[in-house]
A and B are shown apart, each in its own frame.
Chain A
Amino acid sequence: MRNEELILSINNVFKSYHRGSQIVRVLENISLELERGAFLALMGPSGSGKSTLLNLIAGLDYVDQGTIEIDGVDITTLSETDLARWRSVNVGFIFQFYNLIPVLTAFENVELPLLLTSLSKRERQKHVSAALSVVNMEDRVDHYPNQLSGGQQQRVAIARAIVTDPTILVADEPTGDLDRISAENVLDLMDRLNRDLGKTIIMVTHDPSAGKRAHSMEHLDKGVLNHDL
């Protein structure tokens, strides 16, 4: 029986990397379920496999074993091309280092994911403006990333992540490179996205105070999940 409200279901996932002849076991038998509209903080020490798990959820990498079902689709069975298409529709990414394209303006950066859709130029512009106003950056549309502060860049990056209205938002240490105030800003924004727009968010973070802003928390330690609330 599938719970209609379940948006993410990870079942017995294993992942290891080869480093030379050595095999590094990064994730060991991970299982996790998440409901639509959740805001999960994924915490744990450095090297515990947080990014690895997030990448698997976001369809950036393949599991060795196990299944990851998102909104009813088992993404571990998708081909690379299908996975790329799936990502462009279903996942919004927020990175620690914002990862805006330096040669594009804020507006163009936000428009980028929409190029893979069939939207007309006018529709794209509408979506981009809407997303930029959500993050309060509508007055900086023509700025290039290097003309923006870190916090501003991250807000543009968040606009880029939500512009396609994805099923889930994944964020890997979104405040890791920001000062206190900018970090609070970004966290407020994510909170708003979750509360007002009902976005499901999975956020990896080191920072306990950032973790507290989420509604649930999972601890990874040496590739194993410790459930607690």
Chain B
Amino acid sequence: MIFKILFRNAFRHKLRTFLTVCGMAVAILSFGLLRTVIDAWYIGVEASSETRLVTRNSISLIFRLPLAYRDTIRRVDGVEIVSYGNWFGGYYIDRKDFFANFAVEPKSYLELYPEYVIPDDQKVKFTSDRKGCLVGKKLADRFGWSVGDTVTLTGTIFPGKWDFILRGIYEGRTKNIDETLFFFHWNYLNESIKKIQSTSVDHVGFYIIGIENPYIAAETSEAIDKFFKNSLAETLTETEKAFQLGFVAMSEAIIKAIQLISLVIIFIILIVVANTMGMSVRERIGEYAVLKTLGFRARQITMLIMGESMVITIIGGITGIILTFPAAMGFSLAVGQFFPVFNITGETLYLDMAVTVTVGLLAGIFPAYRAVTVRIAEGLRRIG
């Protein structure tokens, strides 16, 4: 019966409840979307492996390292695989259609990144074709490429038109793997620029190093950097995670702002729901007084009011959660190139639910407290 009363009470003011539920839905929707944006931002960090190190020029990423370092790094204890590559910075047709493209040493690179799943025949063709390229499934879908196509990129760092033959399309082993990357042979780049830009020849932008286990990451990094101390190009080695975090850190202020906004949204909806509950309880204070007269206790009155508050927030919350999926899809379509992976995580959904319940409880507390503490005689006087 308590449930009957609280449900019916929740829908007594249809418009008020409807508006509050809508507000709640929009709040949860925005909260979920903003969280997903933040998740998308950190996806590189998320997806990074603890057994991969990145070595780069200690001054800045834009300075390169000699290819000769490869053999030295290989000899460091704990190092299993060494790969390397360059940021290429090319674009396809329209400069604004951004995607990341790298020149890498294909065999070792793919060995280091087992999360890129490629059919065996494609893998063989890609690694053996000097002009071959490998792209993520989402990228291939975006531009309508299929295996065997010739893809021409326009270089920005390395000027000119660059022709590649699409030899493979990879898919991520898990949902959080970036499927918008473009890889081709480092050798092809190196040989091509020999003719034009002799300074860059035999230099790499970064080394990716596979180590035996995560526990030796710190000492191995240190050992590598020590080797090149006082050399012409000193190195900075860190875990892939730290490296990715370094990128994210640049936009930390924006992320903080987004986090703040998502909290503000929750706070606003809390006020809205609390106001709705406050109004409803104030109007019905006499009814609660009658229930108390009949012998109903604080616990039951509290349950009635908290329950009503929960009914409103949960309906709104669930609506919001359901709407988050199409909204995220739309968002991803609109700005997908900036967020290669845009997935609503389980964690976001849990948080959505936690926020829903918390708002429901907090919004109900003060009205419930008032209804419980108002003296019966006082409450009864307000009728009529």
> Which residues does A use to contact B, with CB under 8 Å?
51-52, 55, 58, 60-61, 81, 84-85, 87-89, 93, 95-97, 99, 101-104, 108, 111-113, 115-116, 160, 177
- Flag if B295 contacts A60 (CB, 8 Å): no
Write the chain B residue with the least CB distance to A100: B290
B383–A99 touching, CB < 8 Å: yes
Question: Which residues in window 326-384 of B have CB below 8 A to A?
Answer: 375-377, 380, 383-384
| Complex-state Cα separation, A52 to B375, whole angstroms | 13
Evaluate contact between B294 and A108: CB separation under 8 angstroms.
no
* Residue numbers in B under 8 Å from A58 (CB-CB): 293
Q: What is the minimal beta-carbon distance from A48 to any residue of chain B, in angstroms?
A: 16
Q: Are A103 and B9 in contact (CB under 8 A)?
A: yes
For chain B residues 182-201, which have a beta carbon within 8 Å of chain A?
Answer: none
What are 8 contact pairs spanning A and B, CB under 8 A?
Answer: A61-B375, A61-B377, A85-B295, A95-B290, A103-B5, A103-B12, A111-B1, A113-B294
Q: Is the CB of A95 within 8 A of B383?
A: yes
Q: What 9 pairs between A and B have smallest CB-CB spacing?
A: A88-B295, A103-B8, A60-B376, A99-B290, A97-B384, A87-B295, A113-B294, A55-B377, A84-B295
Q: Give CA–CA (A228, B299) in the complex, Å.
A: 44
Query: A101 touches which one: B287, B295, B380 (CB < 8 A)?
Result: B287
Q: Is B70's CB within 8 Å of the partner chain A?
A: no
Least CB distance from B267 to A in Å reads 31
Chain B residue nearest to A160 (CB atoms) is B294
CA distance A47 to B26 in the complex (A): 51
CA distance A104 to B6 in the complex (A): 11
Main secondary structure of the interface of B (DSSP, over half): helix
Residues 271 to 317 of chain B near chain A (Cβ within 8 Å): 286-287, 290-297
Q: Is the CB–CB distance between A81 and B286 below 8 Å? A: no
| A160 to B: closest C-beta gap in Å | 8
CA distance A65 to B182 in the complex (A): 88
**Whole-angstrom CA separation of A87 from B293 in the bound complex:** 7
Q: Is the CB of A104 within 8 A of B5?
A: yes
State the Cβ distance, A91 to closest chain B Cβ, in Å: 8
Q: CA–CA, A196 to B244, complex, Å?
A: 87
* CB-CB under 8 A for A101 and B293, given A61-B376, A95-B380, A111-B1: no
Bound state CA distance, A104 and B293, in angstroms? Answer: 17
If A61-B377, A89-B295, A99-B290 are given as contacts, then 5 extra A-B residue pairs at C-beta distance below 8 Å, sorted by A number, are A58-B293, A101-B287, A103-B8, A113-B294, A116-B295
A60-B376, A61-B375 given; A97·B383 CB < 8 A:
yes
Are B290 and A108 in touch, CB under 8 angstroms?
A: no
Chain B residue nearest to A144 in the complex (CB): B8
Indicate the member of A101, A115, A160 with the most B CB atoms within 10 Å.
A101
- Report the Cα distance A111→B375, complex, angstroms: 24
CB distance from B60 to the nearest CB of A (A): 69
Inter-chain contacts of A89 with B (CB < 8 A): 295
Residues from chain A with Cβ under 8 Å of B295 in the complex: 84-85, 87-89, 113, 116
CB-based contact B384/A108 at 8 Å? no
Contacts of A112 in B (CB 8 A): 1, 291, 294
| Chain A residue contacts of B8, Cβ below 8 A | 103-104
Q: Does B75 sit within 8 A of A, measured CB to CB?
A: no
Q: Are A101 and B290 in contact (CB-based, < 8 A)?
A: yes
Kindly state the separation between the CA atoms of A10 and B8 in the bound complex, as whole angstroms.
41
Q: At the interface, yes or no: B96 with Cβ under 8 Å from chain A?
A: no
- Assembly CA distance A25 to B63 (angstroms): 90
Q: Please, which residues of chain B bring their CB within 8 A of the CB of A95?
A: 290, 380, 383
Asked if B384 and A96 make an inter-chain contact with CB atoms under 8 angstroms apart, the answer reads: yes
Which residues of the other chain, B, contact A103 by a CB distance below 8 angstroms? 4-5, 8-9, 12
Q: Within the complex, what minimum Cβ distance (angstroms) separates A146 from chain B?
A: 12
Residues of B within 8 A of A113 (CB): 294-295
Verify A93–B294 contact, CB threshold 8 A. Answer: yes
Residues of chain B within 8 A (CB-CB) of A104 are 1, 4-5, 8
Q: Are A116 and B1 in contact (CB under 8 A)?
A: no
Q: From residue 1 to 49 of chain B, which have CB atoms closer than 8 A to chain A?
A: 1-2, 4-5, 8-9, 12
CA A194 – CA B9 in complex, angstroms? 36
A167 to B: closest C-beta gap in Å: 13
Given A99-B286, A101-B287, CB of A84 within 8 Å of CB of B297: yes
Q: Is the CB of A108 within 8 A of B4?
A: yes
Q: Determine the distance from Cα of A116 to Cα of B286 in the docked complex, in whole angstroms.
A: 19
Report the Cα distance A34→B290, complex, angstroms.
Answer: 26
Query: How far, in whole Å, are A81 and B290 apart by their CA atoms in the complex?
Result: 16
Write the nearest CB–CB distance from B186 to chain A, whole angstroms. 74
CB nearest neighbor in A for B10:
A103
What separation, in Å, do the CA atoms of A104 and B295 have in the docked complex?
17
**Contact (Cβ within 8 A) A84 B292:** yes
**In the complex, residue of chain A having the shortest beta-carbon distance to the beta carbon of B1:** A115
- Give bound CA distance, A55 to B379, whole Å: 12
- A93 to B1, alpha carbons, bound, how many Å? 20
- Complex CA gap A97/B383 in Å reads 7
Q: Measured between C-beta atoms, what is the minimum distance from A177 to chain B in Å?
A: 8
* Docked complex Cα distance between A96 and B286 (Å): 13
A227 to chain B, nearest CB (A): 25
Across-interface contacts of B5 in A (CB, < 8 A): 101, 103-104
B8, B293, B375, B380: most-surrounded residue (chain A CB, <10 A): B293
Taking the nearest CB of chain B, how far is it from the CB of A109, in angstroms?
A: 10
